[in-house]
Amino acid sequence: MDMGEWLPQETRSYLAKVSEAIDRSTPPQISRRIKKLYQRHDEWREKNCINLIASENVMSPTVKLLFGSDLGYRVCDGPVGKKALPAGGGAKYLEEIEAYVIEIARRLFNAGYVEHRTHSGTQACQAVQYALTKPGDTMMSQALSDGGNAANRDIGPPRFYQLKIVDIPYNGREMNVDLSTFEEEAKRTKPKLIILGAMIMLFPHPLKEMIQVAKAIGSKVVYDGAHVGALIAGGRFEDPLREGCEALVVNTHKIMGGPTGAMILMNDDEIARKVSEATFLGLVQTPYCNRLVALAMSLTEMLAFRYQYADQIIKNAKTLAKTLDNGGLNVIGRERGYTESHQVLLDVKEFGGGYMAEKTLTEGNIVCNKIPLPWDLRAEEHGGSALVTGLRLGVPEVTRRGMKEKEMVHVGNLICRILVDKEDTKAVREEVSDFMKKYQKVRYCFN
């Protein structure tokens, strides 16, 4: 059966290729191919690559083991305290595990309430939007062209809730909110909800000033801290709930180093009730129980090591940025100390742009991702593909593998050798694989 024209040609071609392979194979042969692909992936990504994707991390062996447990095919509907009543229903241990998730998360973020059942950051943002707005309301968020998140834009969940989206004014050179025009725009558009947060998070937002403006016009402010949760928990970034945000969204993977998913932290009783109702049964009926037990353990690891981990994250990011700058790359934010988060941002226009830089580094087993910069031309501005000149690097995984400032200098030099000095990627790839043999043990955990 032919697939719809609405799918990208690349998608249809790729699926057709796999479909032909399936037609030529027996189920046992297919199963062996799938297993081989899995093994090749793990061998490459875990043992032979320097992973600098800012939205990824590595789980500890214990968390990984729990994630693959019997809990993965069990059911634990309903609120804690009522699952196992009256006769048990198979949830007597699951219920206590879930209670640990709730109580540890509350302590990590000093929050009164946590909604822990959302399966992704997008779903968590969706729950907040459903809880705090009604169809037709105006919501303010950061534009995609300024590093914003699609979860909070009109190509994502707001589109299906008929929210009107307006941009948070942004200063691309400062990589932060443009306060000089934010107040004017907020008063003009009167958004019911302002969601702060983006894929690019180099520096804390001017929360105090923004919340003052929001309160004056009756807007609620939610902080999408998908990328910076561990830095907030470790006291090395801003603290949105203390500053006055109504809710804080935190991804449980990414910098947090746990299973995929998200949490919503809140202090207001009424807001927490609305978010809980939007989540269950609005978006989630059956949480993934294997995720809950893995999350309970990863949060416990964060509770024990959050300050050391957050400190090393900042040191590593700053050291990597300085090394890249010294090596001839254009590092964004030099005048402000490069970064106050786990991210380092490069303008690689003179090195072929983001697509080419990402591809070339990947050939050298250094994995990162391209990203648009605020001053890049969009597709509609030049009649073609978006012109992406940015490269985003992140240090959570290499930090959890035990790398510190010395190693960040080495990693930065490897990147410069590939992009600036144009060294042969095969030679660098072999050096990277040999280098990674020393960093196979996960740190900041109980193993």
Question: DSSP 3-state assignment of 141?
Answer: strand
Kindly tell me if the per-residue pLDDT of 394 is higher than 90: yes
Residues 244 and 318 in one domain: no
List all residues 6 or more positions away from 147 whose beta carbon is below 8 Å from its beta carbon.
Answer: 175, 198, 199, 200, 371, 372, 374
pLDDT at 151: 96
Q: What is the pLDDT of residues 59-95, one digit of tens each?
A: 999 999 999 999 999 888 888 888 755 545 778 889 8
Residues 78 and 221 in one domain: yes
Strand partners, 164: 138
Residue 105 lies in a domain: yes
pTM across the whole model: 0.95
Domain that holds residue 266: 62-299
333: left (phi over 0), alpha (psi -120 to 50) or beta: left
Q: Identify the burial level of 221 via C-beta atoms within 10 angstroms of its C-beta, where 0-12 means exposed, 13-18 middle and 19 or more buried.
A: buried
Contact between 199 and 148 (Cβ < 8 Å): yes
DSSP H helices in 280-365: 289-326, 353-363
Residue 123 lies in a domain: yes
Q: What is the pLDDT of residues 233-291, one digit of tens each?
A: 999 999 999 999 999 999 999 999 999 999 999 999 999 999 999 999 999 988 999 99
Instruction: Report the mean per-residue pLDDT for the chain.
Output: 94
CATH number at residue 149: 3.40.640.10
- φ, ψ for residue 413, nearest 5 deg: -65, -35
At which residue do the structure tokens 């929001």 appear? 214
pLDDT at 378: 61
At which residue do the structure tokens 């080419």 appear? 356
Contact between 348 and 354 (Cβ < 8 Å): yes
Q: How far is CA 342 from CA 5, 203, 310, in A?
A: 40, 10, 9
Residue 9 lies in a domain: no
- φ, ψ for residue 119, nearest 5 deg: -90, -5
Contact between 377 and 370 (Cβ < 8 Å): no
Residues 289 and 316 in one domain: no
- Tell me how far apart the alpha carbons of residues 75 and 90 are, in angstroms, rounded to a whole number: 8
Q: What is the pLDDT of residues 188-227, one digit of tens each?
A: 999 999 999 899 999 999 999 999 999 999 999 999 999 9
- Tell me how far apart the alpha carbons of residues 214 and 264 are, in angstroms, rounded to a whole number: 20
Q: What is the pLDDT of residues 334-384, one digit of tens each?
A: 999 999 999 999 999 999 999 999 999 999 999 999 999 988 866 444 444
> What does the block give as tokens for 334?
């030099």
> What does the block give as tokens for 174?
């400062």
Residues 251 and 361 in one domain: no
The end-to-end CA distance of the chain, in Å, is 50
Residue 54 lies in a domain: no
Residues 161 and 278 in one domain: yes
Which is higher by pLDDT, 87 or 299? 299
Residues 384 and 257 in one domain: no
Considering 299, 321, 351, which residue would you say is the last residue of a domain? 299
Q: Identify the burial level of 73 via C-beta atoms within 10 angstroms of its C-beta, where 0-12 means exposed, 13-18 middle and 19 or more buried.
A: exposed
- Under DSSP, the state recorded for 176 is E
Considering 299, 328, 355, which residue would you say is the last residue of a domain? 299
Considering 299, 320, 347, which residue would you say is the last residue of a domain? 299
- Under DSSP, the state recorded for 151 is G
Other Cβ atoms closer than 10 A to 226: 27
Residues 312 and 271 in one domain: no
Q: How many domains does the chain have?
A: 2
